[in-house]
Structure formats: structure tokens, C-alpha cells
Amino acid sequence: MVRSDAERLVRIGTEFLQEAGFEPRDDGLEARLRAQDSEWTATALEIGDETRSRRGFWRGLLTDELPFPLPRALQPSIPPTLVVVAARHAAKGVGELVVFPHVSRRGDAEYARAAGPRIRAALQGITAAAGAEGAMLSHESLGGVPDDGAPFSQEVVREVLGWH
């Protein structure tokens, strides 16, 4: 819960995630929400590469035995990860911001949570920025979200955004 409006919260969340390496998707999520007259405003960002995230047996065997780190170009990439940044009006001058990640089954399962440090860094930046303005009212971590039609729910991410 932050003292701000929903559009500004989504913009700030998006900026911090872009600084962490996430790229906005061109999926029309915000326009769909407006067309449905939703209370939410949202955007989706993603990071990762399905093919480069897979190590494979031989590649893993060779790289695990090297006495030096691989050059960055040869290191496994982050598996595909989608983050939805959504906000809605909660009270006069107060907005609710939700930043929720969705890991794809398409990448290497061993590294499925590899985007976690980037997401945590973005969340810390958002919290620090809101705290510096005296705008942060409360925050909590979500272990999961119900399929209630919110733009960050599994159902919307799967059915509307086509994320698997």
C-alpha cells in the first residue's frame, strides 16, 4: 500500500524492473484491462531465454569440471520469467501495488528461480523509493495469488497472456 495513484505505481515498478534487465511485453494487457473497465492497471515484463537456459548433459558435464568460470557468453541464461506489475486504487490518495513473478516451464527447471535476485533488487528499490518519499504505508510478500481475474493471477497470465 503506497500513497500514490495506480498509474504512477505501475510506471515506477516497471522502471525498477527494466533497470534489473526485464523488458516490457507488447501484449496489450493495459488496453485489455481498460476495455474491461477493470479496477486494475497493469503491465507485463519478461526476461530470459528458453534455449540458452538449458544446460544439457554434455555442456553441464564439461562446464562443471572447468577450473575457471565460463565466459559470460557461454554461461546459461536465465529461464523465461514473466513479472506482472499491477496497481489499483485502494483509498483516497492510496494505491495497492502488486509485483508478481511467473516462472515458465519452458526453461531449465534447475535454474527456474534464477531471476529471483533481479526481482528482489527491483522490489527493494521500489520499497526504498517509496520509503524515502514517506509514501510506503505497508508491504508484504505473497506466496501465491488466487485465480480471481486480477492481472497477475495464474488464470490471466496463462489464458490472456499465453504464458506457460
Q: What is the pLDDT of residues 74-112, one digit of tens each?
A: 555 788 999 999 999 999 999 999 999 998 888 777 778
Query: What values do phi and psi take at 89, rounded to 5?
Result: -70, 130
What percent of the chain is modeled with pLDDT above 70?
84
Rounded mean pLDDT, 46-59: 68
Grid cell for residue 164: 506457460
In a domain, 122, yes or no: yes
In a domain, 100, yes or no: yes
pLDDT exceeds cutoff 70 at 66: no
What domain range includes position 18?
Answer: 6-159
Please report the pLDDT score of residue 154 as a whole number: 92
Count of domains in the chain?
1
Q: Which residues, in sequence order, are CB contacts of 110 under 8 Å at separation 6+?
A: 55
* b/e 77-110 (16+ beta carbons within 10 angstroms → b): bbbbbbbbbbbbeeeeeebbbbbbbbbbeebbee
What confidence tier does 2 reach under pLDDT thresholds 50, 70, 90? very high
In a domain, 47, yes or no: yes
Report the chain's mean pLDDT, rounded to a whole number.
Answer: 85
What percent of the chain is modeled with pLDDT above 90?
58
- Are the CB atoms for 99 and 127 separated by under 8 Å? no
94-103 and 23-24 beta bridge pairing: unpaired
- Are the CB atoms for 19 and 124 separated by under 8 Å? no
Q: Which residues, in sequence order, are CB contacts of 11 under 8 Å at separation 6+?
A: none
In a domain, 164, yes or no: no
In a domain, 109, yes or no: yes
What confidence tier does 134 reach under pLDDT thresholds 50, 70, 90? confident
pLDDT exceeds cutoff 60 at 59: no
In a domain, 1, yes or no: no
pTM for this structure? 0.84
In a domain, 99, yes or no: yes
